[in-house]
Amino acid sequence: MDFEVLGPVQVSADGGYLRLPPKQTVLLAALLSRPGVVVAAEQLIDALWPDDPPPSAAKSLQVYIHHLRRNLGGEFAIERAARGYRLAVDGARVDALCFEQLAGQGERALERGRPQEASRLLGEALGLWGGAAFAGYEALPLVREEAARLNELRQRVAEMRFDTELELGRHGAVIAELTALVAQYPFRERLRAQLMLAYHRTGRSSEALGVFREGRNLLVEELGLEPGRELAALEKAILRNDPELDAPTAPKGAGAAPPLRARAPRTGEAETESERGAPESASAGESGRSASEGAPSSGQPAPAQLPPDIADFTGRHEQVAQLRARIGAQAEPGVAPRPVAISAVSGMGGIGKTALALRAAHACAADFSDGQLYADLRGAQAAPADPAQVLAGFLHAVGVEGAALPEPLEERSALFRSMLAGRRMLVVLDDAGAERQVRPLLPGAPGCAVLITGRVRLTGLEGADIVDLDVFDPGQAVELLARIAGRDRVAAEPEAAAEIARLCGHAPLAVRVAGARLKARPRWPLSHLVRMLGDERRRLDELAVGDLGVRASFALSYAGLAEPARRIFRLLGTLETGDAAAWTAGALAGVGSAQAEAAVEDLVDAQLLAVAGADGTGRLRYRMHDLVRLYARERCEEEDGPQERAAALQRALGAWLWLAEQATEYIPGPCYATMHGPAPRWPLSATEATQLLSEPMAWFEAEAAAMVAAVEQACRLGRHEAAWDLAGCLEKYFDVRGRFADWRRTHETAIAACQAAGDVRGEAVLRRGFADVATWARQSGDESGTAMGTMMEQAERVWELFQRLGDRRGMSDALVMRTWAEVSQGAARRAVRSAEAALELAEQEDYTGGRARAYQVMAVAAHGMGEAPSAVAHLHRALELARLLGNSRFEATAMQFLGAAQCEAGDVEQGRANLERSLAMTRALGDRYAEVFSLLYLARLHLAVGDAQALPTAAGAVDLSRRYSMDHHLADALGLRGRALLDAGRAQEAVEALEESVEVWRTRGWPAFLAEGLRCLARAREAVGDHAAAARAEQEAEEIGAAAADAAPAE
C-alpha cells in the first residue's frame, strides 16, 4: 500500500486505488502533510470542519480515525499521542518523501560531477508527480504550506534537470517539455532562459528571441516590469551570437534525455534500459519541424490509436461517403488546411455508431500523417470519462510528459490545442455524453478533424455536422445476416431471412445476434429461428420438450469449451438471478476474477451468455437465455454432485453478503443497531472489493435485483440465515431509494423462512425493519388492518423476540416503535414512558443510534402532550447524536422534525431555515420519503403565513407520495392541498382533495389526523353549499375526538 500526494491524494493497493469517503480523505491528507509526526487533534478538527466545528467534533474525530484505520488495514498504524495522532509510515511508501530523496540524490550527483546519473535521478523524481501537490485539498489550513513547499520544490528540481540536460547537450530533446512549462508558468524567467538557450543551440535563434519578446511583453503588460538581468543578458548574447553560449562537449555516452515517467519506481526498484531512454538519434531541433508544430521528444512515434475496423461491416455507404468528404478534405496534399472539421454521429444504442465511425476513420487515416487519437468517453454509462484524464492520455501520446502536464482542465485543453497546431491529426471521440464533455478535447488550428459518436445529438457543438443514424433498410439487414450466418443458408431461405430481419427491427445489433446464433447452430433452418422469434411464449415450452436438435446445438457449443468455462457455465445455471457480473461467477466457482472474466467471455463467444450491459460500477453484466439456463442446470445435475452445487450457491450468497454488509455501512438510513448472523461469507480480493464498493450506492443499484432474487432462492432452499442477513443489508438502500415493494417482498419471504426454521434473531431483525415499510409505506387497499395498528402489533412482536434473545438494543428499538403507535392512538402519557424506557436501554448499551431515535420519539410524545419547548430540546439532542454518528439521512430527519417543532413553538424563521436545509439534504441523498416530509411541513408553514407557495408545495408532495406509494404522506399532502385550494377560493377542487385525504386516513389508524381531515372537509363542503354533508363530517370528527377523550384516562 502506497500513499500519493503529488497530485490527487490517493492510496494505491494491489494494483488499484482505495476509495475513501471525503472526510477520511481530508483526515488522511492532513496526516500525510506531516508523515511520521504527531498532528494535534485541534489541527485535524480544523481540517475536517474549517468553518464551524460541531460541539461533538472531538468525538467525531475519533470515529473518523477509527474508520480510516479500518480502511487502511493493519499495514500502517495511526498512533494516538498525548495531543494528537501520528501516521506511522515507511518513507518509501509516501511519494513526496521518495521525491525528496531522489531529488537530493540527483543534486549530490551533480555536485560530484556525474550529470548523467543526476539526469536520471531528477527525471525519476519528477516522474512521481501527477498534478499539483495535494490536489483538491491544497486549501486545507494544515496542508496549504506543505503543498506550496512541494510545488515550489518541484519547479526547482525541474529547472535543475533542464540545466543538466543542456549541459549534456540534449537541447532538442527538452524543447517540447520546456515549451509546455513556459506556457504554464510564463513568469518563471529561469525556465524561459533555458528554453531560449535550447532553441539557440539547435540553430533556432530567431525562435529563441521570439520567446524573449513574448516574455518581455507579458512582464510589461501584466506586471509593469522589465525582464531580469539574466534574461536580458541572454537576449543580448544571442543577438551577438556569443560563442560562450555554444553547447558544451557532451560527455561520452550522453544520449537523449531520459523520459519522465508518469510514476517513477520506488527507491530500490529495478529499472530497465528502455526506461532510462534510448540514445539520441534525431532531436526535435534536427527534425526540421518548427516549434509551432509542437514536436514530440526524440523518437516519439505518431499516435495510431484507432481500434480495429469491423470485418463484416455492412451498408452505410452514404454515411461513410459523407464522413469521408467532411473530414478527409482537411488533409488533401497541396491544399491549404481548412478550419477544424467536426462530424458527430448520433443514434440509439446498438444502431452501429462506433462501427460507422471506425470504418470512416480507417478510410481516412492515411490522410492524417501526424496520427490518429481515440478515446472512449463512456457518455452513456453512469461514470463518463473525465475530459481532464482523456487529455492527459492525448498529451502523453503527442510527447508531453511528467512535470510538463498541467493540472487544471482549462490548461490541459489549451496545451492540447498548442501541441496540435500545425499538425494533421484525426481525433475520434466515441460515446460522447454531452457537449461539455467534448469541448475541451477539440483541436483549435486548421489541419485537424474530429469524429464523434454518441446517443445524444450534439446540436450545441458549434460547427458540428450531425449525422443521424437509423436502422438498416431491409436489404442491408439481410446482407449482414448473410455475412454472419452464411450466404448459402440465406439464399436457400430468402423469405425466412427477410422475416428474421423484420423481427429484429432491422437494428444492426439485433441482426448481428440473430446471425451469430444461426452460425452457432448450423443445423437449424432459418424458418426455425423465425418461429422462435415470432412467438416467445411458445419458445421455451416447445424447444425444451424432447427437441434433441436444440439440445444438440447447445451440446456442440458446450463441447467446444475448456473445462473452466464449462464449470462456470454449469454453476451459473443454478442461479435464479436475471443477470450477473463476472465476480459473481467467480464466487460460484471459487476462482479469482481474472479467471472468471476469461471464462464468461468464452461463454459469450460461444453464444451461451449475452452481455446485458455495464452497471453503475463499470462492470459488464451477463445474461443467460432461459433455455440455455435449463441446459446448464441439466449439465450441472449430471456432472456436479449435490455437495458441489450447494457449496457453489453458498459461495455466491456469501459473496453478496460480504459485500452488502460493508456497503450498507455507507448508506444513510435509520440508525438501527447493526445486527448480522452466522451465515458464511465469501470474501473477494481487496482490489476487487475496493473497486466494486468505491460507490456503495452504485453497487446496490447494480446488484439489488440480483440480491432480491437471491434472497427468495435462499429461502426456497432452506438457507434462512443467508436470506435474512442479506435482506437486512438491503433495508437502508430500499428505504433511501423508495423501493418499498422489494423491501416488503424480501422481508415477508425471509421472515416466513425464519419462522419455519425457528430462527428468532433473524425474525426479530427483519420484523424491526419490516414494521417501517408496513406502516409508513403502506399502500391503499391493504386489508390487514390499520397501519398504526400494524405498527403496534409489530412492536410487541419485536419486543418479545429481542427480550427472548436478551438483546437490549433491539428492545430499545421495539420501544421506539411502540411510542409511535401509542402517539397515534392518542396515548401520549404512555408514549412518554415508552420513549423514556427506550432511552434508558440505549444508554445502558452505549447505543448511540438508539439514543438518537429515542430522543426523536420523546419529542413526538412531548408534542402529543402539547409541550413544544420540550419537543424542541429533545430534537436538538437527536440532531447532535445524528451528526456524531455521521448519518446524513437521520440528520436530515432530525432537522425536519426540529424545524417543524420550532415553527409550532413560534420560532418560525429558524424553523423555516431547518426545513429548507433538510429539504436540500434529502434531495441530495435522493431520499424521496424524507423529501416529502420536508415539503409537507413547508406547505404547513406557507399556509400559516398566507404564502401562495403553499399550493404548489403541497401539490409536489402529493405527486411524490403517489409515485412512491407513501400513503401516510399522501393523506397529509392531500389535506394540505385541499386547505390551500380552499384558501384560493377553489372550493370544489378542495372538496375532492379532502375527500380522498379522509379516505386514506381511515386506513392509517391515527384518529387525530382523521378528525382533523374531517373538520377541513366540513369547511370545504360548507363552502360549496353542501351543508348536510358538512354537518356529517363535523359530527364524525366530534365523535372521534370524544372517543379519544374517553380513552385518555385508560392510560
* Nearby residues of 525 by Cβ (< 8 Å), 6 or more positions away: 493, 496
Q: How confident is the model at residue 259 (pLDDT cuts 50, 70, 90)?
A: very low
Rounded to whole angstroms, how far apart are CA atoms 107 and 101? 10
Please tell me the least confidently modeled range out of 516-520, 881-885, 906-910.
Answer: 516-520
Cell triple for 671 = 440508525
Q: Which tens digit of pLDDT belongs to each residue from 843-881?
A: 999 999 999 999 999 999 998 888 889 999 999 999 999
Cell triple for 896 = 425536519
Rounded to whole angstroms, how far apart are CA atoms 617 and 453? 23
What pLDDT does residue 872 have?
A: 93
Phi/psi of residue 436, nearest 5 degrees: -65, -25
Please tell me the least confidently modeled range out of 217-226, 244-253, 405-414, 797-806.
Answer: 244-253
Q: Rg of the Cα trace of the chain?
A: 35
- Average pLDDT of span 149-160: 88
Strand order in the sheet with 341-346: 372-376, 426-430, 449-454, 341-346, 464-468
What pLDDT does residue 843 have?
A: 93
What's the distance, CA 896 to chain centroid?
A: 28
Look-up: residue for cell 419462522? Answer: 755
What pLDDT does residue 554 have?
A: 58
Please tell me the least confidently modeled range out of 113-117, 222-226, 681-685, 696-700.
Answer: 222-226
Rounded to whole angstroms, how far apart are CA atoms 588 and 568? 7
Instruction: From 70, 95, 76, 88, select the one nearest 10 (Cα to Cα).
Output: 95
Reply yes or no on whether the pLDDT at 832 is more than 70. Answer: yes
**Crossing angle, helix 740-757 and helix 720-729, to 10 degrees?**
150
Q: Which tens digit of pLDDT belongs to each residue from 455-513?
A: 677 878 888 888 888 778 888 888 888 988 888 988 999 999 998 887 666 777 667 76
| Contact (Cβ atoms closer than 8 angstroms) between residue 327 and residue 449 | yes
* Nearby residues of 70 by Cβ (< 8 Å), 6 or more positions away: none
Virtual torsion, Cα 268, 269, 272, 277, nearest 10 deg: -70
- Average pLDDT of span 98-121: 89
The tally of CA atoms less than 13 A away on the side-chain side of residue 473 is: 5
What pLDDT does residue 684 have?
A: 92
294 vs 578, residue with greater confidence: 578
627 vs 837, residue with greater confidence: 837
Give the sign of the dihedral formed by CA 776, CA 781, CA 784, CA 788: positive
Cross-strand bridge partners of residue 344 = 452, 466
Cell triple for 464 = 458540428
What is residue 408's three-state secondary structure? coil
What pLDDT does residue 954 have?
A: 92
Q: What is the chain's mean pLDDT, rounded? A: 82
What pLDDT does residue 329 have?
A: 52
51 vs 800, residue with greater confidence: 800
- Average pLDDT of span 383-395: 85
Q: How confident is the model at residue 625 (pLDDT cuts 50, 70, 90)?
A: low
In Å, how far are 92, 487, 534, 721, 885 from 494, measured between CA atoms? 69, 10, 17, 57, 68
What pLDDT does residue 251 have?
A: 53
Q: Which tens digit of pLDDT belongs to each residue from 734-748?
A: 888 888 889 999 999
Reply yes or no on whether the pLDDT at 175 is more than 70. Answer: yes
Cell triple for 1037 = 370528527
Strand pairing report for 580-581 and 610-614: unpaired
897 vs 674, residue with greater confidence: 897
What is residue 676's three-state secondary structure? coil
Instruction: From 410, 415, 378, select the one nearest 398 (Cα to Cα).
Output: 415
Cell triple for 695 = 460507490
Reply yes or no on whether the pLDDT at 336 is more than 90. Answer: no
Cross-strand bridge partners of residue 343 = 451, 465
Reply yes or no on whether the pLDDT at 752 is more than 90. Answer: yes
First vs last C-alpha separation in the chain: 62
What pLDDT does residue 258 have?
A: 46
Q: Which tens digit of pLDDT belongs to each residue from 270-308?
A: 333 333 333 333 333 333 333 333 333 344 678 888 888
Instruction: From 887, 946, 938, select the one nearest 916 (Cα to Cα).
Output: 938
What pLDDT does residue 291 have?
A: 33
Q: How confident is the model at residue 606 (pLDDT cuts 50, 70, 90)?
A: low
Q: Is the pTM of this model over 0.85?
A: no
Rounded to whole angstroms, how far apart are CA atoms 762 and 753? 9
What does the DSSP assignment read for 915-952? HHHHHHHHHHHT-HHHHHHHHHHHHHHHHHHT-TTHHH
- Average pLDDT of span 1010-1027: 91
Sequence-ordered alpha helix ranges (H) in 91-243: 95-111, 115-127, 141-167, 175-184, 189-201, 205-218, 229-239
What pLDDT does residue 724 have?
A: 96
Neighbours of 624 (CB within 10 A): 23
Class of domain 536-639: mainly alpha
Cell triple for 477 = 439487414
CATH architecture of 805-926: Alpha Horseshoe (1.25)
Please tell me the least confidently modeled range out of 233-247, 356-370, 892-906.
Answer: 233-247
Strand pairing report for 10-13 and 2-4: antiparallel
- Average pLDDT of span 788-813: 89
| Contact (Cβ atoms closer than 8 angstroms) between residue 119 and residue 161 | yes
Sequence-ordered alpha helix ranges (H) in 664-786: 686-692, 696-716, 720-729, 731-737, 740-757, 760-776
Instruction: From 871, 880, 805, select the one nearest 835 (Cα to Cα).
Output: 871
Neighbours of 705 (CB within 10 A): 14
CATH architecture of 317-468: 3-Layer(aba) Sandwich (3.40)
What does the DSSP assignment read for 317-340? HHHHHHHHHHHHGGG-TTSPPPSP
Query: Fold identical between 805-926 and 931-1051?
Result: yes
Residue type, 133: A
Look-up: residue for cell 360549496? Answer: 1024
Rounded to whole angstroms, how far apart are CA atoms 859 and 105? 66
* Nearby residues of 542 by Cβ (< 8 Å), 6 or more positions away: none
Cross-strand bridge partners of residue 87 = 78
Strand pairing report for 610-614 and 620-623: antiparallel
Instruction: From 379, 433, 387, 447, select the one nearest 412 (Cα to Cα).
Output: 387
Reply yes or no on whether the pLDDT at 93 is more than 90. Answer: no
| Contact (Cβ atoms closer than 8 angstroms) between residue 146 and residue 33 | yes
What pLDDT does residue 611 have?
A: 80
Cell triple for 217 = 511583453
| Contact (Cβ atoms closer than 8 angstroms) between residue 852 and residue 881 | yes
What pLDDT does residue 337 have?
A: 54
Rounded to whole angstroms, how far apart are CA atoms 245 and 128? 32
Superfamily per CATH, domain 931-1051: Tetratricopeptide repeat domain (1.25.40.10)
Spell out the long-range contacts of 840-844 with Cβ–Cβ below 8 A and sequence spacing 24 or more: 841/808, 841/809, 841/811, 841/812, 841/815, 842/809, 842/812, 844/808
Name the CATH code of domain 1-168 (choices 3.40.50.40, 3.40.1390.20, 3.40.50.300, 1.10.10.10).
1.10.10.10
Cross-strand bridge partners of residue 621 = 581, 613
Check residue 608 and report its DSSP letter: S
Percent of the chain's residues with pLDDT above 90: 28
Q: Which tens digit of pLDDT belongs to each residue from 427-470?
A: 999 988 888 899 999 998 788 899 999 867 787 888 888 888 87
**Exposed (0-12), middle (13-18) or buried (19+): which is 16, by Cβ within 10 Å?**
middle
Rounded to whole angstroms, how far apart are CA atoms 442 and 341? 10
Please tell me the least confidently modeled range out of 664-668, 807-811, 910-914.
Answer: 664-668
Reply yes or no on whether the pLDDT at 813 is more than 70. Answer: yes
What does the DSSP assignment read for 35-52? TTS-EEHHHHHHHH-SS-
Instruction: From 803, 813, 880, select the one nearest 842 (Cα to Cα).
Output: 813
The full set of domain ranges for the chain reads 1-168, 185-248, 317-468, 471-534, 536-639, 641-784, 805-926, 931-1051
Residue type, 283: S
| Contact (Cβ atoms closer than 8 angstroms) between residue 522 and residue 488 | no
What pLDDT does residue 301 have?
A: 73
Instruction: From 999, 993, 984, select the one nearest 1021 (Cα to Cα).
Output: 993
- Average pLDDT of span 178-203: 86
Ramachandran category for residue 136: left, alpha or beta (phi over 0 → left; psi -120 to 50 → alpha): left
782 vs 116, residue with greater confidence: 116
What pLDDT does residue 555 have?
A: 67
Length of the chain: 1051
